[in-house]
Amino acid sequence: MSLIRAKGLSVRHGKTTVLQNVTLNIAAGEIVTIVGPNGSGKSTLLRALIGAVETHQGEIIQKDGLRIGYVPQKLHIGPTLPITVERFLSLLCKVAPKAAKSALDQAGASTLMQRQMSDLSGGQFQRVLLARALLGNPELLILDEATQGLDQSGSATFYRQIEELRTSLGCAVLMVSHELHVVMAASDRVICLNGHVCCEGAPEVVASAPEYRALFGSGTQGALALYRHDHDHHHHAHDHKHEDA
């Protein structure tokens, strides 16, 4: 059963084409990871799916009444805005203390309820964002570089938690990540994006695909490969701009 489907999606920022003819389909309960170099449109794709970016062409079809839990890439809450974790979790609809507590437990942030959001560390902050997304009992969890600012073991733990959540809640997960080696292990399906869908499939299939190797090199050190790849694959016509990490 398809939860969300994008067909022939194109997005432009001004005159720059960020996404071109992207088609994807997320089925219930699967973990799909989008990988791609900086500026490849990963975040834009997620933001288009939640309706934050205007699409130029194509369409997005959601299952009726689809409940999406969205964990944004980075969210800066400055010290001018006082807000406790408890209040943040009840942002749009009042949440019972018990539900808030159990969401924090699930996200691995049990002890943070009364803390100020601006005092949290990067990892704690992401967990609270995850807890907030879980409160809506989502069928689809969308995470945009959720482990930014976490060290390697921290992000490995985070992804393990996502996998456990998928098992316990039965929700599908769509996420974007830079950390190829970590993500590859946790995903059912990987979509390699570079303005367009370069290749997709099971992690091991994608890892050995020539398009993927052209982008990331053949080593497992994906982060290193991001520096090295030189955008010389000419199998598509559009003039997508790349930036190195």
Residues of this chain that bind another protein (CB under 8 A): 47, 50-52, 68, 70, 72-73, 75, 77-78, 80-84, 87-88, 91-92, 116, 142
Least distance from C-beta 221 to another protein, angstroms? Answer: 30
| Cβ distance to another protein smaller for residue 75 or 96 | 75
Among 122, 133, 119, which residue's Cα sits nearest to residue 72? 133
| Cβ distance to another protein smaller for residue 49 or 197 | 49
| Cβ distance to another protein smaller for residue 177 or 213 | 177
Among 53, 65, 68, which residue's Cα sits nearest to residue 133? 68
**Residues 37 and 176 sit within 8 Å (Cβ to Cβ):** no
User: Residue 82 CB: number of other CB atoms within 10 A?
Assistant: 10
Least distance from C-beta 70 to another protein, angstroms? Answer: 4
| Cβ distance to another protein smaller for residue 109 or 225 | 109
Least distance from C-beta 69 to another protein, angstroms? Answer: 8
Amino acid at 219: G
Phi-psi region of 202 (alpha: psi -120 to 50; beta: other; left: phi over 0): beta
Q: What is the CA radius of gyration of the chain?
A: 18
Among 81, 48, 30, which residue's Cα sits nearest to residue 193? 48
**Residues 146 and 158 sit within 8 Å (Cβ to Cβ):** yes
Least distance from C-beta 201 to another protein, angstroms? Answer: 28
Nearest-5° Cα angle at 136, 134 to 138: 70
Least distance from C-beta 112 to another protein, angstroms? Answer: 14
| Cβ distance to another protein smaller for residue 82 or 170 | 82
| Cβ distance to another protein smaller for residue 114 or 153 | 114
Tokens matching residue 154: 């921290």
Least distance from C-beta 83 to another protein, angstroms? Answer: 6
